[in-house]
Amino acid sequence: MENVFSQENLRSRRTEQAVAVSARLFLERGIEAVKMTDIAETSGIGVATLYRYFGTKTGITIAAMTYLWNQLKLMFSGIFESEVFLQQTGLKQLTDLMRMFTVLYEAHKDFMRLLSEFDLMLVREQVPKEDLVDYERSIINFYPVFAKAYRAGVADGTVRETVDCQLFYVTFAHALLEMCKKMVGGELLPSDHFEHATDEMNLLIDTAVCYLRKD
């Protein structure tokens, strides 16, 4: 029988607790405003122990962002395998997939704002790519579902065949994600009017749908 009080299990539970606590604090205050002492105090885990487990604040931040992406994955789990989704035309499936970015923007603004700060941190601290392997795996990747929907659209005649599916997906995923991050960053210029943010995103999606639609 496994010893639930073993050092390995204790470390695992403490690590999970510290990651969950840091994720919540980052969402509430932002990465820069949260100190390791804040995480230690809230989680009940000593600062020295946190540094021993994660090395640096950057280490626990990467773990927290990985955790948050995985939580979002759970929310979307099963939607795109449902009978309701799969009974739609390929073009409608593709449209719904792209509208997931508006869902992320409208329902998870705090996460989008945190993601912007995290990206800046990665650049500023020149975090090595090898330290981001688990983080990259955690990021929601709609491409496998997108490619399947595209093939369904070609088969049912709603989507044209001359599209480089992977290039299309990467282009619009990047565009929509960066638009989300810009909108949650707040209005900076006199001409910025982000009360129409969802309309802007939907217009970009409608443009994409027109490009995909078979004449």
Mean pLDDT in the chain?
A: 90
Whether the pLDDT of residue 193 is over 70: the answer is yes
- Residue 6's pLDDT is what? 62
Q: What percent of the chain has pLDDT over 70?
A: 93
- Residue 151's pLDDT is what? 95
Whether the pLDDT of residue 55 is over 90: the answer is yes
**Could you tell me if 80 and 123 are in contact, meaning their C-beta atoms sit under 8 angstroms apart?**
no
Residue of 9, 10, 61, 63 lying closest to 38 (CA atoms): 61
What confidence tier does 184 reach under pLDDT thresholds 50, 70, 90? confident
Q: 93-128 burial, b if ≥16 CB within 10 A, otherwise e?
A: bbbbbbebbbebbeebeebbbbbbbbeebbeeeebe
End-to-end CA distance of the chain: 64
3-state secondary structure at position 213: strand
The three-state DSSP-derived secondary structure of 133-199 is: HHHHHHCCCCHHHHHHHHHHHHHHCCECCCCCHHHHHHHHHHHHHHHHHHHHCCCCCCCCCHHHHHH
Q: Which residues contact 140 (CB under 8 A, 6 or more apart)?
A: 69, 72, 73, 76
Residue of 118, 124, 163 lying closest to 139 (CA atoms): 118
Per the model's pLDDT, the better-predicted residue between 1 and 71 turns out to be 71
Residue 159 phi, psi dihedral angles, 5° rounding: -125, 140
Tens digit of each residue's pLDDT (9 = 90 or more) over 197-206: 889 899 999 9
Give the mean model confidence (pLDDT) for residues 140-155: 92
What confidence tier does 179 reach under pLDDT thresholds 50, 70, 90? confident
Give the mean model confidence (pLDDT) for residues 5-13: 68
Q: 151-176 burial, b if ≥16 CB within 10 A, otherwise e?
A: ebbbeeebbeeeeebeebbeebbeeb
Q: What is the pTM of this model?
A: 0.84
Whether the pLDDT of residue 186 is over 80: the answer is no
How far apart, in whole angstroms, are the C-alpha atoms of residue 61 and residue 22?
7
- Long-range contacts, stretch 160-167, CB < 8 angstroms, 24+ apart: 160/212, 160/213, 160/214, 160/215, 163/211, 163/212
